[in-house]
Structure 1
Amino acid sequence: MGPSAINAITVFAVADRFLRYVQVDTQSDPTSPTCPSTEKQKNLGRILLDELVAMGISDAHLDNHGYVYATIPANTDKEHVPVICFCSHMDTSPDCSGANVKPLMHRNYQGGHIVLPDDPTVVISPDQHPDLQHQIGNDIITASGTTLLGADDKAGIAEIMTAAQVLMTHPEIKHGTIKLLFTPDEEIGRGVDKVDLGKLGAQYAYTVDGETAGSIEDETFSADAATVTISGVSVHPGFAKDKLRSAIKIAAEIITQLPADRLAPESTAGREGFVHPVSVRGSVEEAAIDFIIRDFTDENLLAHEAELEKLVRTVVSRYPGCSYRFSVKEQYRNMKQVLNRHPLVMEIGMEAIRRAGMQPIRRSIRGGTDGSRLSFMGLPCPNIFAGGHAFHGREEWVSVQDMEKAVRTILHIAVLWEEKQYAN
């Protein structure tokens, strides 16, 4: 089936799926030690499982860790077509409530502000969201003003599910074996902790978790987490003169000494990295600061960590009897290090975007995806657009027409891997 025939297939069901999925609360919890971190993520997994089985996908299943696996069998006579996987995550961010989401459809958007009715102070403005300028005449979905929407990443799930339905009902679209993977806990950095790559059995993958229509991303931050633990000197406050050394105040001093005009999320963009305190806890005797540290190169990441520890050491040295511990944990690495060795994955993704009627926009992600870690686990995995914008907040929105373009891009990726010039 040619590109024009695929583009003519009706994929309007993607909006209906999305509207249903976002009403399921799947917020993950970084303080939970379990996998999934919240059992409610499995509620969406069960819905997806039922729908996949209804499509005729016989091996679809939800495992104990909250992962949904499924296989669309090959329908081509060609041999050696690589097995590919499409992946999206089920959880929503802990940064904003995902309970009782009320999705709203704003049909035939004609420009201007979108005021959300449940909290009119929440206004989606073209000044703050310039991509709205490209949505004239399109249908925009938002939440009602008190929650996030959940386009990150239920838009990607709806798109993969719709593409699966198309492939199962259109045998004339020839493709190799296609694997589907829906993960929990991506938003808290644990999205592939328990994934079974042997069971998945894919050679290449694409996360559908990006933003603007036509974008494809082959580079992420490299990421570490650092914890600074400060030991103070606790003395009864009534007798504390020249003796007490509050770990809380030392922690506060470290935070206030961080650079404000660089190395901070609020003052960096593009390829600039940052050091970002995300939590503080403790008492007079002991306090801890958790940081996330990000950059596109491992060398810069190490330099940021060295600068942070130097700052901590300088501050703590001014307090006799106090000490600190500095620990770093690797989170993920820039997937470009892997994808540069597998250029075909990106070439096919970009060609699929062209066949779907767009110009590909090659981007770097100021963040990470499940694809970051999957790539280093042996499954090269760039990220393609899902169409959502303003993730993790109440101004989140997505265009129905952009979701439909994502479905067609997924279909073209499946077809392109089957074509002779791309076979192994």
Structure 2
Amino acid sequence: MDAVERLISYLKIDTESVPDRDVIPSSEKQFDLAKVLEKELREMGVSDVRLDEHCYVYGKLPSNLSGEEKAKTPALGLIAHMDTSPSARGKNVNPRIVKNYDGTDIVLNEEEKLSPKIFPRLLEQVGDDLLVTDGTTLLGADDKAGVAEIMALVEYLQNHKEIPHGDICIGFTPDEEVGCGADIFDVKGFGADVAYTVDGGKLGGVEYENFNGASGKLKIHGVNVHPGSAKDKMLNSLLLAMEFNSMLPQFTPANTEGYEGFFHLCDMAGDESLTEMNYIIRDHDREKFEEKKRIFLDVAEKLNQKYNAKGAFFEPEVKDSYFNMAEKVKDHMYLIDVAKTAFEKEGVTPIVSPIRGGTDGASLSYKGLPCPNLSTGGDNFHGIYEYLNLNAFHKMIAVLIRITQEMIGKKA
């Protein structure tokens, strides 16, 4: 099957994950794609294919090397996630190919357009073919593009047995978008020594540094009385929430970049009596990360001291989500060199940059599987303006093939 046709077939399968559920997968419909992948891997002749009860798909292309060369080549894992973000609807995805993009606005539907005036990186895509949405759903290239690129690699190597490679372990995960993709990944059964997630954006991306991440939750109990007699009595929990937020350092996603961390208020709901706030706390630097968590708790404590005697109180909770994979990848930096070399040999300038977010690879690295992240060629993830550069998509397949070659003999 043509790689783009395969990708589009995956995009049309609804795999939207659901936040704040204590079961994996968070949505049963993720099995719809998992079963397709299981079937296709078997049809390609992949070994050890299995789909477990938690919607993880595994398979293996055994090494065709021998002797000392085989012994010196690490088992390489390639991993992508099947679910799509709950930030935008993932049902009834209707992709469309824009041939030879000319740099003008792309009309998605009567109300929505994809414009370089708003998304200037579109101008970098001029002359290329783009896969876009119809403006009513996300596209799902995050990370079905990665899934399709890995499947294209598998198909290519199975059709070209003469190409040498070490063990290649394939893994497709559920629930990455809700932070659970690596929670019960079978690292031992997977069988890889090292791995890459194929879950990035702009072509050339090589990422081995990510945020340290935590969630911050806050319940604010106010004092509510009739507004006609509220003087010196009412403590409106909504206003107390505003006060809390104003006391945090004003580092937000909207005014930070690169290695800068932030506090991000994701949602807030309540009334005069009770307000709940949900934050994410991020920083690449571990000391600054720990400081941000302390600040979150300290602000709540200061406000408790201010308002407890008047009947209001704050209940904060901070919970770690993941840590910077750089701490685990630093002893396996040949993974970065291999990826950079593969891009360069395919005529692509590698872009080594920190991830301003998290990835399955971060959690997997702390589970003993060093796992940097590679690009897919997509952009504007998690929304209706998502698109995938198809020229970059095809180039990534070539890069993955090249990586399997560059990995030969790299085992320490």
- TM-score bracket for this pair, using the shorter chain length: over 0.9
Does structure 2 conserve the Cα–Cα contact (< 8 Å) formed by 1:211 and 1:388?
A: yes
The AA in structure 2 aligned to 1:268 is T
Aligned to 2:292: 304
What displacement does 1:310 show?
3.6
Does structure 2 conserve the Cα–Cα contact (< 8 Å) formed by 1:148 and 1:396?
A: yes
Cα distance between partner residues in 1 of 2:47 and 2:205: 33
What displacement does 1:47 show?
0.9
Aligned to 2:107: 115
The AA in structure 1 aligned to 2:53 is N
Cα distance between partner residues in 2 of 1:267 and 1:79: 49
Secondary structure at the aligned position of 1:206 is classed as strand
Residue 278 (structure 1) aligned with residue 266 (structure 2):
yes
Secondary structure at the aligned position of 1:364 is classed as coil
Q: Which moved more, 1:388-397 or 1:294-303?
A: 294-303
> Which of 11, 28, 43 pairs up with 1:22?
11
Relative distance call for 1:241 and 1:37 in structure 2 (3 A) is same
Give CA deviations for 1:363-422 in whole Å, capped at 9, x if unaligned: 11110110111111111111111000000111100111101111111111111112x3x2
Superposition TM-score, scaled by structure 2 size = 0.94
Cα distance between partner residues in 2 of 1:302 and 1:423: 35
Does structure 2 conserve the Cα–Cα contact (< 8 Å) formed by 1:225 and 1:330?
A: yes
The AA in structure 1 aligned to 2:378 is G
What displacement does 1:229 show?
2.2
What displacement does 1:280 show?
2.3
Q: Which moved more, 1:348-357 or 1:390-399?
A: 348-357
Secondary structure at the aligned position of 1:152 is classed as helix
Cα distance between partner residues in 2 of 1:235 and 1:109: 60
Give 1:1-400 correspondences, 5 Å limit. 13-77=2-66, 78-80=69-71, 81-117=73-109, 120-235=110-225, 241-259=231-249, 262-282=250-270, 284-319=272-307, 320-400=310-390
The AA in structure 2 aligned to 1:335 is M
Does structure 1 conserve the Cα–Cα contact (< 8 Å) formed by 2:63 and 2:70?
A: no
Secondary structure at the aligned position of 2:394 is classed as helix
Cα distance between partner residues in 2 of 1:222 and 1:152: 21
Cα distance between partner residues in 2 of 1:134 and 1:267: 24
What stretches of structure 2 of length at least 5 have no aligned partner? none
Give CA deviations for 1:213-266 in whole Å, capped at 9, x if unaligned: 11111111111111122233355667655434333432233235555xx41111
Cα distance between partner residues in 1 of 2:365 and 2:20: 26
Does structure 2 conserve the Cα–Cα contact (< 8 Å) formed by 1:250 and 1:316?
A: no
Does structure 2 conserve the Cα–Cα contact (< 8 Å) formed by 1:206 and 1:381?
A: yes
The AA in structure 1 aligned to 2:265 is P
Superposition TM-score, scaled by structure 1 size = 0.91
Cα distance between partner residues in 2 of 1:278 and 1:316: 23
Cα distance between partner residues in 2 of 1:109 and 1:250: 50
Does structure 1 conserve the Cα–Cα contact (< 8 Å) formed by 2:47 and 2:62?
A: no
The AA in structure 2 aligned to 1:228 is L
What displacement does 1:173 show?
1.0
RMSD across aligned positions (CA): 1.9
Cα distance between partner residues in 1 of 2:384 and 2:176: 19
What stretches of structure 1 of length at least 5 have no aligned partner? 1-11
Cα distance between partner residues in 1 of 2:274 and 2:108: 44
Number of residue pairs aligned between Structure 1 and Structure 2 = 407
Cα distance between partner residues in 2 of 1:14 and 1:158: 7
Does structure 2 conserve the Cα–Cα contact (< 8 Å) formed by 1:372 and 1:381?
A: yes
Does structure 1 conserve the Cα–Cα contact (< 8 Å) formed by 2:15 and 2:29?
A: yes
Does structure 2 conserve the Cα–Cα contact (< 8 Å) formed by 1:14 and 1:403?
A: no
Secondary structure at the aligned position of 2:385 is classed as coil
The AA in structure 1 aligned to 2:357 is G
Q: Percent sequence identity over matched residues?
A: 39
Aligned to 1:8: none
Does structure 1 conserve the Cα–Cα contact (< 8 Å) formed by 2:74 and 2:193?
A: yes
The AA in structure 2 aligned to 1:334 is N
Does structure 1 conserve the Cα–Cα contact (< 8 Å) formed by 2:248 and 2:295?
A: no
